[in-house]
Amino acid sequence: MFQKAPDSMIPDPTPERVYAICRMVAHQSMTKDELKDAMSLGNPSNSNYSEFNASLSVATNDLGALKYVDDKLQLAVDASCFVSPAAFRRFVSSKVFLVKDSSFLLFTKWYIAQNERVFTLDDWGVKASTASKEVSALSVMKENDAYGWRFWAMFLGLGYLSGTSLIPNAKIRLEDLFITEFPKSFPYNEPVQAMDFRSWLAAKMPEADLSGIWPMAVSAGLRTLHELDIIKLEARRDTDRIKLYFVDGDPIDEFSHISVREEACR
């Protein structure tokens, strides 16, 4: 799922299944067979077994969340990574967006760069086929891979599912970064110059091209956070500004400074 392209992104290892596996092992170390029985509620089937194996592979190989010790599965990271879906999401984000040549990141970068074009590509098969033609490393990508991608993209906060598209809006992805990474570089509640913020965000959010007008996903996410009073976007006079993706009727189309409210990031 999150390994070097052309790694498969089949739908079986959903975020919910991988999280459930990690939670069970966090509660109690167990063998693979014991975990399989627990996940199937004592009623195993061939389809359940396939889903289980795929999900366990993501947890162990792709995320490095679990490891084998004397034939038993144990946590390979701190248990705090699994105390809640949000904690798990932030743990996954800290891993998967660093694998620059993975099918997941390459398709994510392509999808975000399309902006409103994603709505003109009729279904996930067309989206996968188009990406396979436009990104050489994704040449073998199929519709099934796009189905698998969309579950994780939504879970990681890159947008919202609607019909045959993921509506680009990185509100949750950005909010997670403001909680986990922003205070390591900037103070809360104080304006940060847009150019400094861009350099920081480009390093923390490699899936988005921030070199020109910011893409729809990032722009929509920032506007949403501004409306929720989690951040404040300002356009001051005589200062360098960053342009956001144009939305007719939205009053915020650029900003020179951003501040993040500490209280909103607790």
Phi-psi region of 87 (alpha: psi -120 to 50; beta: other; left: phi over 0): alpha
Q: What is the pTM of this model?
A: 0.94
Q: How many C-beta atoms lie closer than 10 Å to residue 58's C-beta? A: 26
**Hey, what are 244's tokens?**
């956001």
- Tell me the per-residue pLDDT of 28-41, one tens digit each, with 9 for 90 and over: 999 999 999 888 87
Amino acid residing at 5: A
Q: How far, CA to CA in Å, does 116 sit from each of 108, 122, 215?
A: 15, 12, 10
pLDDT attached to residue 43: 66
d(CA 19, CA 55): 9
Determine the pLDDT at residue 65: 98
Q: Give the C-alpha separation, 137 to 108, whole Å.
A: 13
- What per-residue confidence (pLDDT) applies to 1? 83
Q: In the prediction, which pLDDT does 49 show?
A: 80
Question: Which helix H or strand E contains 159, and what residues bound it?
Answer: strand 159-162
Residue found under tokens 């509506």: 167
The pLDDT score that the predictor gives to residue 131 is 98
CA distances from 12 to 30, 52, 65, 110 (A): 22, 8, 18, 23
- What does the alpha-carbon distance between residue 142 and residue 110 come to, in Å, rounded to a whole number? 15
Separation CA 217–CA 214 (nearest Å)? 8
Torsion of CA 15, 18, 19, 24, to 10 degrees: 160
- pLDDT value of residue 66: 98
Q: Encode the chain (266 residues) as per-residue pLDDT tens digits.
A: 898 888 889 899 999 999 999 999 999 999 999 999 888 876 665 557 889 999 999 999 999 999 999 999 999 999 999 999 999 999 999 999 999 999 999 999 999 999 999 999 989 999 999 999 999 999 999 999 999 999 999 999 999 998 888 999 999 999 999 999 999 999 999 999 999 999 999 999 999 999 999 999 999 999 999 999 999 999 999 899 999 999 888 889 999 999 999 999 98
The conformation of residue 59, written as its DSSP 8-state character, comes to I
**Residue 45, pLDDT score:** 59
